[in-house]
Every structure is written in structure tokens, then in C-alpha cells.
Amino acid sequence: MLAARQHRDAAAESVASRIVNDVRRRGDAAVFAWTRRLDGIRLTPRTLWVSASERRAAARAVPKVLRAALEHAARNIRRVAEAQLPPSWSITIEPGVRVGQRVTAIDTIGCYIPGGRFSLVSTLLMTAIPAQVAGVRRIVVACPRPNAALLAAAEMLGLEEIAHIGGAQAIAALAYGTRSVPRVEKLFGPGNRFVTAAKRLVSADCAIDLLAGPTELLIVAASGNPRYIAADLLAQAEHDPEAMALLVTTSRKLAEAVRNAAAEQLSRLPDRNPAKRSLADKGAILLAPNSAAAVRFANRFAPEHLSIPVEHAELARKLDAAGSVFLGPWSAQSIGDYASGTNHVLPTSGGARTRGGLSTADFVRCSSVQYISAAGLRSLGPVVAALADAEGLIAHRRAVEVRQ
């Protein structure tokens, strides 16, 4: 199971490479041709972009309860994003030596919004709002079939550039630019295996947020409500047939109770719900011989979502590798996916061992700044000279000496 997560999808990379290279070579013509072939959408430069009238009509058409939900979720996401924004600062290191950090926003970014079974309006909120908090000047959105909810959210956020494109062709168009699609400086948002492969391919030329594969949930518990645990397993499993939903427990009694609850809840889902295939192929309840073994496995797995469904502060401290952590019986992962304010664009396939989820810091540059006075130069000159001599860099030493 762990080895399978590290598998490179050669088939997807081959297809994505063909599409990306075609878009680089032929621009709009390739984007429109692949969109017609893969999504069944006929586009022209005039129909590529969602019109202002479409956005306004969608904003009027969505139910009031949905509009209120979008506004509530947006407020929470914005509050978290504001707390995450790195500060500019300046300190005096020693007399005559002042250094600091200058925080500036990336100028232009692309937000990729999956548009398969549904347009994921929550992903628009999770990518665009931190960008706005960071001060990004231009936000370009790509979604092949934006629904009314997504367009209403875009209108609410003041987003004006929404392109009817998806897949690897959208990633390539945003990364390299075409006559109709602007080139962006960084790409954000999850997608299917072909989108992920395309992001990997373009990452040498256009920055990306992270490579997010199929969703993952790991629940670590020795006790808890079996119905709640089963419901969380099903909720994450329905994201994708390739999603991984796991329970690790030291209790055979809990394992059997969760298995029975999951089977009962699964029987009430529609036959075409991806959770049915996902749990059959990728779901598991793992019995650990003791809590130490459970912790070792969880930290090695480094899941996208980690749930500790009982109040257990000591266990929470030991589990330190996860994209997003859900503590206590009431912390359903769905709340983090939509409304608590934390970001749901998270590392998968063990990426949580080295980074967390998307944050406002991903939309800015933190540049170091220094001011050295004549007194500071006299103080640090001998230090630079000694270190430059040790490395054999004569010009480095002279760049200081010429100023003295």
C-alpha cells in the first residue's frame, strides 16, 4: 500500500506530455481541439471566457441558503488566510547592520478548479481567497464546466477571468500562455491524474503549489463512536475511486463495529457513488499490536487528513506528520473541506512529511533586505575577509575592502 502511493503514473504522464507539448506548439488551436475532444465543448476565443452577465445571473439564481453558506465559508477562510500571511519585519543585528524581510505578492496566478462530476466551488474559495489576502493582482480561473454555484462564488469574490477549459490543456495554457489565455506565474488547485501529471511537467517553467493526488484519510483510534468513524471513511472515499480511507486501531471490537457501520452506511449510497469502489479497492481497517506501532505507521504514512476522534492530547502530540488534523468526535473532515477556514488543498502520497497544506504564504515572496552603514562595514569586513579567504573567493574579499 505504501509503495503504491509512490508509483509514477507513466500512462498519465505520456498523455499529459503529448497535450502539453501540443499546446506549447499550437497555442489556442491545441487548447480548443483538446477541449472539444476530451470535454465535448466547442470553444472560440469569444466563448472561452465566462461573461459578466453569466456571473451576475448565477449570483441571482442560486438559493439564498447557498449564498449564505458561501459567504459564511468565505469569511472563515479569509480569517485563517489573514492569520497565515507572513509579516514584513526589520531588526538591527548589530550597530550599523539592519536586516529584514519584505513580503510581496505574486503578480498573476492560475486557479485550476476540477469540473468532472461537479464544479468544486469550495476549491475556488480555498485558492482565490488566500490569493486575495496576499494581494495577488490577477487571478485567472480555469474550469471546463463552471456551474451556477461556482459562478456565484466568483461574482461574490469579484473574479472576472474564468475560462471554460480543463485538463492538461488548461494547465499548459496557463503555464505557457496562448493568444487568448494569459501566462501565469504560479498554478494552484488539485485535479485528476492527467492534471497532476501536467503540473509535474510544467513545474520547471511555471511554479506550482503542490502535487495533490487522490485524497487520503487516516483515522487513529482505540475507541470512539463507530458510526462517526464510518461516516468519515465514506465521506473521504467518495472523492475519488482511488481515494484511500483507513482506520488504524488497537481494538478488534472497534474495528468490527466500524466495519459493520460502514457496510450499513455504504448500502444507503447510490450505486454510482465512488465510495463503493474506493472502499472496496483502497479502504482498510488495520489492527495494530499496540499504540506505539499505530503511531509509527501513521507518521510514516503521513496522511493528507488525519483524524483522532477522541480527546487524546498525548496521542495528538505524537502524530506529527499530516496535511490537516481533526481532533475530537465532532471534527468531521467535511467541515475542514468546506467551512472551518483551514485550506483543503493538501499534500498527499506522504508529502505531509515535509509540508502542510496550502496557505497564504504560498502566494507571496519573502525577500531578505539589508542595509549596512559605514560602521557596519567596518565591523563585518574582517569577518567577510576571513570567510572569503577560507573559500578562496578573492573578489568577495575585495568587494568589502574597496569600500573601506
**Catalytic positions:** 304-305
Is the CA virtual torsion 15, 217, 327, 291 positive or negative? negative
CA dist 378 and 375 (Å) reads: 5
CA dist 293 and 290 (Å) reads: 6
C-alpha cell at 153: 462564488
- Listed in sequence order, the residues at least 6 apart from 17 whose beta carbon sits closer than 8 Å to its beta carbon are 197, 201
Distances (CA, A) of 166 to 39, 41, 140, 141, 185: 8, 10, 13, 10, 18
CA dist 344 and 304 (Å) reads: 9
What angle, rounded to 10 degrees, do the helices at 167-176 and 28-39 form? 160
Q: Is 165 helix (H, G, I), strand (E, B) or coil?
A: coil
Residue 313 class from Cβ within 10 Å (0-12 exposed, 13-18 middle, 19+ buried)? exposed
CA dist 78 and 132 (Å) reads: 9
> What's the chain's length in residues?
404
Q: Under a CB-based contact definition with an 8 Å cutoff, are residues 306 and 325 in contact?
A: yes
490537516: which residue's cell? 324
Distances (CA, A) of 275 to 84, 236, 288: 33, 8, 24
CA dist 356 and 324 (Å) reads: 7
* Residue 165 Cα to chain centre, angstroms: 19
